[in-house]
């Protein structure tokens, strides 16, 4: 186990900015906890353990939760480990390695846009054996938003139309695609789709969305932590 290099307070009483090495060390720890929490979530939604065992586990989890002490992040505060907009989001419910809710989806540039790869488990079940429709929409919304940022136009969703052609299977590697198709002023038009890795040419869900880049005043008001950068 390495010694955690936490950022020591500076002599003027403020905390100095962590180095890139320290941030990487912290990200690795966040990802390790996220991995274990996802395993816990999966075990939780699949177990047939008796009530006594569930109570015992609940007590143990409560004790562990109590160990996550220290300053708690404020609303609208961007974590030091994140790169916003357009980069690493450690706690994103779609891509975040530290999120117990995220698959997490791995994103790479491809095919004139972005490809996201992930496998969804029982925690994301809608109809028995298949993915919840809201989860498919969330994967698409995130990747389509990231495609805007990757194209140099970070934007927020104002419209997302999703069409479900076939049910999305659980525990099956998925391939999500998103591509910017055009712009009009601050509006960005984006297409998205989901298929399985096994049959990439058969789209099971498709989407088209409109994203809008907020003007600088609105951006400052919505994301006060970005003050000085926009
Ligand atoms: C880094 C990647 C992260 C990815 C995260 C995934 C994306 C998300 O989940 S974002 C979260 C969900 N979305 C939101 O919360 C957005 C809520 N909406 C808003 O806050 C505002 O609409 C905002 C800030 C985006 C834009 O506001 P504002 O700058 O005032 O825009 P506004 O002037 O109303 O509209 C701009 C243009 O978009 C158009 N527009 C607005 N809403 C819509 C709509 N629903 N459909 C189509 N066009 C629309 C307007 O008609 C206008 O067009 P034009 O310029 O031709 O007249």
Q: In which element (H, E) is residue 56 found?
A: helix 51-65
Nearest protein CA to atom 42 of ligand 1, as residue: 158
Q: pLDDT tens digits, the chain, 230 residues: what are they?
A: 333 444 444 334 456 788 999 999 999 999 999 999 999 999 999 999 999 999 999 999 999 999 999 899 999 899 999 998 778 999 999 999 999 999 999 999 997 899 999 999 999 999 999 999 999 999 999 999 999 999 999 999 999 999 999 999 999 999 999 999 999 999 999 999 999 999 999 999 999 999 999 998 998 899 888 865 55
Distance 141 CA to ligand 1 centre (A): 13
The reply to whether ligand 1 has any atom less than 6 angstroms from the CB of 218 is yes
Distance 187 CA to ligand 1 centre (A): 8
Distance 157 CA to ligand 1 centre (A): 6
**Cα distances (Å, whole numbers) of residue 68 to 27, 170, 199, 224:** 16, 32, 42, 26
In terms of Cα–Cα distance, which of 82, 196, 202, 194 is closest to 143? 194
Nearest protein CA to atom 13 of ligand 1, as residue: 157
First and final C-alpha spacing in the chain: 40
On whether the CB atoms of residues 40 and 32 are closer than 8 A, the answer is: no
Class of domain 106-226: alpha beta
CA dihedral for 146, 151, 152, 155, sign (positive or negative): negative
| Residue 227: predicted pLDDT | 60
Nearest protein CA to atom 5 of ligand 1, as residue: 142
| Residue 8: predicted pLDDT | 40
Nearest protein CA to atom 22 of ligand 1, as residue: 158
| Residue 2: predicted pLDDT | 39
| Residue 14: predicted pLDDT | 54
3-state percent helix, strand, coil for the chain, nearest multiple of 5 = 30, 25, 45
The reply to whether ligand 1 has any atom less than 6 angstroms from the CB of 162 is no
Q: What is the ipTM of this complex?
A: 0.94
The reply to whether ligand 1 has any atom less than 6 angstroms from the CB of 150 is no
| Residue 86: predicted pLDDT | 75
| Residue 6: predicted pLDDT | 46
Atom of ligand 1 nearest to the CA of 145: 4
Nearest protein CA to atom 17 of ligand 1, as residue: 158
| Residue 7: predicted pLDDT | 46
Nearest protein CA to atom 26 of ligand 1, as residue: 214
CA distance linking residue 217 with residue 224, whole number of Å:
10
- Beta strands, E only, 135-173: 156-164
| Residue 9: predicted pLDDT | 40
Distance 36 CA to ligand 1 centre (A): 36
CA distance linking residue 68 with residue 77, whole number of Å:
18
């Amino acid at each position: 186990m390495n010694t955690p290099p936490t950022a020591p307070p500076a002599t003027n009483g403020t905390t100095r900015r962590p180095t890139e090495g320290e941030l990487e060390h912290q990200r690795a720890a966040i990802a390790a906890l996220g991995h274990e929490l996802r395993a816990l979530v999966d075990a939780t939604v699949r177990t047939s353990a008796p009530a006594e065992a569930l109570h015992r586990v609940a007590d143990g989890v409560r004790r562990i939760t109590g160990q996550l002490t220290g300053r708690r992040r404020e609303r609208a505060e961007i974590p030091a480990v994140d790169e916003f907009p357009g980069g690493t989001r450690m706690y994103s419910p779609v891509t975040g390695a530290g999120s117990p809710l995220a698959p997490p989806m791995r994103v790479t540039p491809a095919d004139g846009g972005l490809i996201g790869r992930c496998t969804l488990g029982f925690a994301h079940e809608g109809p028995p054996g298949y993915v919840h429709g809201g989860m498919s929409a969330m994967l698409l919304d995130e990747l389509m938003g990231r495609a805007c940022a990757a194209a140099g136009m970070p934007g927020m969703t104002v419209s997302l139309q999703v069409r479900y052609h076939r049910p999305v299977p659980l525990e099956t590697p998925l391939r999500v695609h998103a591509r910017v198709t055009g712009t009009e002023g601050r509006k960005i038009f984006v297409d998205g789709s989901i298929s399985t890795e096994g049959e990439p040419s058969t789209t099971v869900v498709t989407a088209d969305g409109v994203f809008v880049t907020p003007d600088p005043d609105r951006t400052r008001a919505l994301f006060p932590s970005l003050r000085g950068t926009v």
